[in-house]
């Protein structure tokens, strides 16, 4: 595979403009001027082709808001990744380098650019508007449909800039077209001030050569629900069965309204081991906006009830859901 000199088939984006405001996305957005390409993208990655309302500076006619946060792509060696450092001013481009030497204008090309060697120092200079920011352009094909042509992903992500040296080395080791995953990765951490921070960053993972890696990841097997326990056989009564003593009020408050089958089903989806862990994991999924299964959607409706039941259980000195 060689880099195509034809016009790109389209662009991949991690965000869009919505009513004039930037909006970060959880799945890839693809823009293109070709209606047929838009239809193929929707068939491959989910979503529906529609007029591009979040045009920004691309000016491409169609957009597809896909359902995929990771896409398997083909990169044709290190040359598929172009990385510059740029600083724009009111008069246009005022600094253009590769981090070591100027790339333009012609009279400065090849001269030392003066950028700090450390990435953190470059970030500080950029925040103070005294230094350039990254401009990374990745040219690739969709592994499952290379006939669609070349796509671009352009980003100013400092995280992507920090990944570039490892990325180019990995592409060199493949020594030919490399199968990669282009992913919008969720990052969650707690800051030094104790605040929860959540954001998404683009990541390219080199998987291997075309001979060793499939153009599409294998499908994820759906969890197999556990068979319902068979009802025990009832023996012929020889005498009246003893009456079951009444359940104490505190325990009844714990039992009423808890859908054990729902919790078990959600545990299979979430991979959790007990009810408490299931509820915690479900809350995390819901807060992250990632409830994509009927089990989680149903569990979301029950979270308030489960929380109330848990509170009653604590008041009644009960410590577990039944």
Q: Which residue has the higher pLDDT, 318 or 206?
A: 206
pLDDT, tens digit, for every residue of 238-281?
Answer: 444 444 444 343 333 333 334 555 555 555 555 555 555 555 55
Mean pLDDT, the chain, rounded, equals 78
* Other CB atoms within 10 A of residue 43 CB: 12
Residue 59 has pLDDT above 90, yes or no: no
Instruction: Indicate the angle between helix axes 294-315 and 275-287, nearest 10 degrees.
Output: 120
Largest Cα separation within the chain, whole Å, is 106
**Do 183 and 203 form a contact (C-beta atoms < 8 A)?**
yes
Per-residue pLDDT at 254: 32
Segment (H or E) for 123: helix 119-127
Segment (H or E) for 321: none
Q: Which two tokens stand for residue 311?
A: 């509170």
pTM for the complete prediction? Answer: 0.65
Per-residue pLDDT at 21: 85
What does residue 163 show for φ and ψ, rounded to 5 degrees? -85, -15
Between CA 98 and CA 166 the distance in angstroms is 16
Per-residue pLDDT at 143: 97
Per-residue pLDDT at 131: 92
Per-residue pLDDT at 90: 84
Residue 80 has pLDDT above 80, yes or no: yes
Residue 10 has pLDDT above 60, yes or no: yes
**Which residues contact residue 263 at a Cβ distance below 8 angstroms, ignoring those fewer than 6 apart?**
275, 278, 279, 299, 321
Q: In sequence order, what are the beta bridge partners of 16? A: 23
Mean pLDDT computed over 188-200? 88
**Which residues contact residue 74 at a Cβ distance below 8 angstroms, ignoring those fewer than 6 apart?**
1, 140, 141, 142, 143, 146, 177, 178, 179, 180, 210
Residue 20 has pLDDT above 50, yes or no: yes
Residue 77 has pLDDT above 90, yes or no: yes
Per-residue pLDDT at 4: 46
């Amino acid at each position: 595979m060689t880099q195509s000199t034809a016009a790109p088939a389209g662009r991949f984006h991690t965000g869009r403009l919505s009513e004039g405001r930037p909006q970060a996305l959880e799945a890839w957005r693809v823009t293109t001027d070709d209606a047929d390409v838009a239809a193929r993208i929707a068939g491959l990655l989910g979503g529906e082709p529609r007029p591009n309302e979040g045009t920004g500076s691309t000016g491409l006619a169609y957009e597809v808001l896909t359902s995929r946060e990771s896409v398997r792509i083909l990169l044709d060696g290190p040359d598929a990744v172009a990385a510059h450092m740029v600083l724009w001013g009111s008069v246009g481009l005022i600094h253009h380098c590769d981090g070591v030497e100027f790339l333009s204008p012609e009279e400065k090309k090849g001269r030392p650019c003066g950028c700090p060697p450390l990435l953190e120092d470059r970030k500080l200079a950029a925040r103070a508007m005294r230094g350039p920011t990254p401009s990374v352009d990745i040219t690739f094909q969709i592994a499952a449909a290379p006939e669609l042509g070349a796509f671009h992903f352009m980003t100013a992500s400092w995280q992507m800039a920090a990944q570039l040296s490892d990325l180019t080395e990995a592409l060199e080791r493949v020594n030919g077209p490399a199968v990669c995953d282009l992913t919008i990765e969720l990052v969650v951490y707690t800051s030094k001030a104790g605040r929860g921070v959540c954001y998404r960053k683009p990541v390219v993972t080199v998987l291997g050569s075309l001979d060793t890696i499939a153009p599409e990841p294998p499908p994820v097997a759906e969890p197999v629900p556990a068979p319902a326990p068979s009802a025990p056989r009832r023996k012929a009564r020889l005498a009246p069965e003893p009456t079951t003593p009444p359940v104490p009020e505190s325990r009844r408050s714990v039992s009423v309204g808890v859908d054990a089958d729902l919790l078990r089903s959600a545990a299979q989806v979430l991979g959790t081991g007990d009810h408490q862990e299931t509820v915690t994991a479900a809350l995390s999924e819901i807060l992250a906006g990632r409830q994509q299964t009927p089990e989680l959607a149903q569990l979301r409706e029950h979270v308030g009830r489960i929380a109330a039941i848990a509170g009653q259980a604590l008041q009644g000195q009960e410590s577990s859901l039944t």
